[in-house]
Amino acid sequence: MISTRNILASAALVLATSPAALAEVEWPTQSVMLVTHSSAGGGGDVMLRNLAPTLEAKFGISTNVDNRVGGSGAVAASWLVNQANPDGYTLKSVTPTQLITPLRSAGIPTYEEMTPIARLFLDPTTLYVHDNSPFQTIEEFLDHARENPRDLSIGIGSAGSLDQLVLQNFTAATEIDARTVPHEGGGDAVVALLGEHVDAVVGEPGQALTHLQDGTLRMLTVFQEERLDTYPDVPTLAELGYEVTSNKFRGIFGPPGMDPEMVEAIATALSELYEDDPWNTYWTEASLSAAFMGPEEFTEYLGVVNEEMREFIEGLN
Amino acid sequence: MIETAVIAEAFLNVLSPYTLFFLFLGVLIGILAGILPGINGAIGISLILPFTFGMDPAVALIMMLGLWGGQNFGGGVTAALVHTPGAASGAATLFDGYPLAQKGQAGKALGVICIASSVGWFLSTIMLALIAVPLAAFALRFSAPEYFAVGIFGLSMVASMATKNIFKGAIATLFGLLIVTIGTDPFSGLPRFAFGRFELMDGINFLIVMIGVFAIAEVLHQAQKPTVHEEVRRFSRELPSWAEVRALLPTMVRSAGIGMLVGTAPGAGGSIAAFIAYNEAKRFSKTPEAFGTGALEGIAAPEAANNATEGGAMVPLLALGVPGSGAAAVILAAMILYGLRPGPRIFTDEPVLVYSLFFGLALGAVALLILGLLLTPYLAMLMRIPKPYLITGVTGLSFMAAMAITGLMFDVRLVLLFGIIGYIMRRYDFPPAPMILALVLGFMIETSMRRALIMSDGDWSIFVTRPISGTILALAVLSFLYPILRKIVSSARQGGA
């Protein structure tokens, strides 16, 4: 491969009259800054902190993870649009939060103002409880919630997030009344559950990984079409007859005004990382599904998802 | 049960010249990172992370832990010498460190900072090694009502901070709380008092306010003084005497305990621990009136406490895999990168590594003592710089720090604005300390109060019926009334005599 490319490049060098004609963008060749809106230990943060060493090991460059927490992602989004350098070395993790927040309040940059680079994963939303919890199954959980309105409290990572929408869908579909407790990120919600200060958490399995594995926390249900490979015994909510599914995507955005060739180069580099460690360990253990989309496909997908979110949020009001 | 062989192996690992070299290097880099405003422990550790590839994980982690501890010391050095903390954890050191250095005893101020930092660090390591697992269970009992109570306990210190005029102290506190409300509502996710500026959506970083209110206000104040015949300022590089250090021991031990406990709670942190320790030292002191004028206890308490938070923060990090601060988050990422899984099982799965970290931390405290005392005379020489040059340098450093913290030009202007506000406050005797305290604690108080009320479904009794929360709130009431009662009692005595 490489030698072929070299030969082609040499041929191009001979033939080319303008140096721009042979510009083949390589990425990465210098330090990469990875920005996330989630706090330390939250989903986006964990993703970037695994992506960083994978990039470092594979490409021999340095990386920097920057948590720009706040405003349900608005702070990170505004920063990306207004201040980040579009040279391809400032990238941001992206989740449905980036679609929801601008729909909820005006003046926050939308995905259309940024450069979608790649969708990387679909991330299941699940509901889990503490090992000491009396609820062994989701049916028991629902029965208790129906008999005791507002008795159960359910923690989520942050206000105005996809987790909150899933939780609202869940309570609406199952006709239960539970209290929503927002935290400063998914990691904080898990700590609250570990201390048994909330009755359950709706969130990704990834943010509670070690605790789900050693049995401190117990997953009751999965909000998606099919059961998870890593938790084959946990039923989906659809199996109980409630159509509540969430497909939380994880991807990478760049600042506006990026060179399309650079965008392609980054997407290609990212698409080839799935088998590298610790990236591989991260996504398999967190029960993510590798769901790569390049820039064009991802942009289309975002348009569709954004409309769904818009309808949903308008329906809530 | 931990076998002796494991402990011996860990000890020998750490004592190897290779490990010791990187430990000392880590502490040294940490001291420099702490001294430079805007470079904190998390940034410092991120910067060395790429260089640790290929190292033994234990050595790499020990180097990072060394950097973290060194950084806590460095932050206090800048606070004492130029009236602004080099790192957030050094915020409370400024109140007595700076006056003492201004009296010409910079060597003594830095010496106390170094010794207290080392002692706090060392003691917290011992506590960590002995009670990490039960302490992690205790930390989990902290939920929203408890964090609220800790925040209120912290705010109760305002009463003892504003000794001159309690009303001006209250106004300064409220001003600080008002600043905290700028940003984003944590429960609806909507902007609040951000005036349509995205720079304000994340709130105002309290270091930005501190740099303005302390460093820039000091520069304005100094610039007003005539400096026509400035002689070379006299200063002493003399370190504190053994008797002075021994007298500080109870303060350091108490502060280390406070730092350890506060550090264990994820989300509190070095600056909050330092403020609480400072106030407790004042309460226990035989000469509380000396606080604010260069009391050695007032320097030792916050420094012992902020270094002890590191041992405390290791508890949730190792036992739960939960990072309690930015620096801890970077270390957690490094551990995962080395294939380690922090969590309850790490103590049984990787006992040699865990004990190597404990020995590394303990020796880090020794490394800090050695390096800190060696560097102190040179750092103290900063005081010899003629004032016009010094305040020019401080101004430049302040703006550089603002830029380094957020990278926003907006924040540089904010520093200037808060400099002017700080100058006016100083002119009219409004104490800046309560305002900073409100800034440090405000967000935690607001979010934990609102979260607690959701948890209780609007029932306010949740704050007093939970044992830990109720106890801390009762202590807060006592702590608030103590200085007032003390004044009444002493004046009654004088009246009777």
ipTM (interface pTM): 0.71
In a domain, B230, yes or no: no
Measuring CA to CA, which residue among B85, B21, B72, B79 is closest to residue B44? B72
Which of A54, A72, A81, A216 is most worth mutating to test chain B (most B CB atoms within 10 A of its CB)? A72
Contact A195 B329 (CB under 8 A): no
Chain B residues in contact with A98 by the CB 8 A cut-off are none
B420 touches chain A (CB under 8 A): no
Cβ-Cβ contacts under 8 Å for B491 (sequence gap 6 or more): none
The confidence band for B267, taking pLDDT boundaries of 50, 70 and 90, is low
Residue numbers of B between 73 and 112 with CB closer than 8 Å to A: none
Lowest-pLDDT range of A122-131, B188-197, B423-432: B188-197
Report yes or no on B231 lying in a domain: no
Question: Is B229 a domain residue?
Answer: no
CB contact under 8 A, A278 and B323: no
For residue B203, the chain A residues in CB contact (below 8 A) are 70
- Nearest one of B245, B354, B296, B273 to B72, comparing CA atoms: B273
pLDDT at residue B20 is higher than 70: yes
Q: What is the pLDDT of residue B125?
A: 93
Nearest to A245 by CA among A193, A307, A312, A300: A312
Average pLDDT over residues B16-33: 93
Q: Which residues of A81-109 are buried (b: 16+ CB within 10 A; e: fewer)?
A: beebebebbbbbbbbbbbbbbbbbbeebb
Does residue A195 sit at the B interface (CB-CB below 8 Å)?
Answer: yes
Edge-first strand listing for the sheet containing A153-156: A179-182, A153-156, A200-203, A126-130, A217-222
Please give the average per-residue pLDDT across B365-380, as a whole number. Answer: 91
> Given this model, what pLDDT does residue A46 score?
82
Domains recognised in chain A with CATH numbers: 29-123+248-316 (3.40.190.150), 126-240 (3.40.190.10)
Across the interface, whether the CB atoms of A198 and B455 are under 8 A apart is answered yes
Q: Which residue of B has its CA nearest to A187?
A: B322
Label residue B221 by pLDDT band (50, 70, 90).
confident
pLDDT at site A315: 63
A77 → chain B, closest CA residue:
B198
Cα–Cα distance, A23 to A280 (Å, whole number): 32
What is the structure's pLDDT at A86? 93
Residue B332 CB partners (closer than 8 Å, separation 6+): A40, A41, A49, B317, B321, B323, B342
Any CB–CB contact under 8 A between A74 and chain B?
yes
B351 in contact with A, Cβ within 8 Å: no
Q: Taking CB atoms and an 8 Å limit, are B188 and A159 in contact across chains?
A: yes
Give the integer Cα–Cα distance in Å for B445 and B283. 23
Confidence of residue B21 (pLDDT cuts 50, 70, 90): very high
Q: Are A94 and A37 in contact (CB under 8 A)?
A: no
pTM (2 d.p.): 0.75
Q: Which among A52, A153, A160 has the least Cβ separation from residue B455?
A: A153
Question: Which residue stretches of chain A have pLDDT < 50?
Answer: 1-22
Higher pLDDT, A146 or B393: A146
Q: Do the beta carbons of residue A124 and residue A223 sit within 8 Å?
A: yes
Q: Which residues of A touch B53 (CB under 8 A)?
A: 56-57
- Give the start-end residues of each E strand in chain A: 32-36, 63-67, 90-94, 115-123, 126-130, 153-156, 179-182, 200-203, 217-222, 248-254, 289-293
Cβ contact, residue pair B183, A70, below 8 Å:
yes
Task: Give me the pLDDT at residue B407, please.
Answer: 63
Looking at chain A, which residue has its C-alpha nearest residue B338?
A: A278
Rounded (10°) CA dihedral B143, A50, A219, A288:
140
Amino acid (1-letter code) at residue A163: D
Q: Token match 């200085």: residue? A: B483
Q: Dump pLDDT digits (tens) for B87-109.
A: 878 888 989 999 998 888 888 99
CB contact under 8 A, B320 and A194: yes
Three-state DSSP class for residue A253: strand
CA-to-CA dists, residue B391 to B212, B218, B223, B383, B396, angstroms: 13, 8, 8, 11, 9
- Chain B residue closest in CA terms to A31: B50
Q: What is the pLDDT of residues B324-345, one digit of tens each?
A: 677 887 787 778 767 777 777 7
Beta-carbon separation of B191 and A45 below 8 A: no
* Best CA proximity match to A173, nearest among A106, A121, A245: A245
Tell me if residue A110 falls in helix, strand or coil.
Answer: coil
CA distance linking residue A285 with residue A61, whole number of Å: 26
- Asked if A75 and B333 come within 8 Å (Cβ–Cβ), the reply is no
Cα B198 to Cα B35: distance, rounded to the nearest angstrom: 30
Task: Indicate the pairing of strand A179-182 with strand A153-156.
Answer: parallel
Burial of B407 (0-12, 13-18, 19+ CB in 10 A): middle
Which domain does B472 fall in, by range? 4-224+238-496
Residue-wise burial string across B444-454, b where 16 or more C-beta atoms lie within 10 A, e elsewhere: bbbbbbbbbbb
Report whether B155 contacts B441 (CB < 8 A). yes
Q: How far is CA A159 from CA A78, A168, B185, B451, in A?
A: 18, 12, 9, 11
Chain A residues inside the 8 Å CB shell of B336: 49-50, 278
With CB atoms and an 8 Å threshold, state whether B322 touches A78.
no
Compute the C-alpha angle B221/B223/B224, nearest 5°. Answer: 70
The answer as to whether B195 is a domain residue is yes
- The number of folded domains in chain B is 1
CB of B81 closer than 8 Å to CB of B299: no
Residue B227 confidence class, pLDDT cut points 50, 70, 90: low
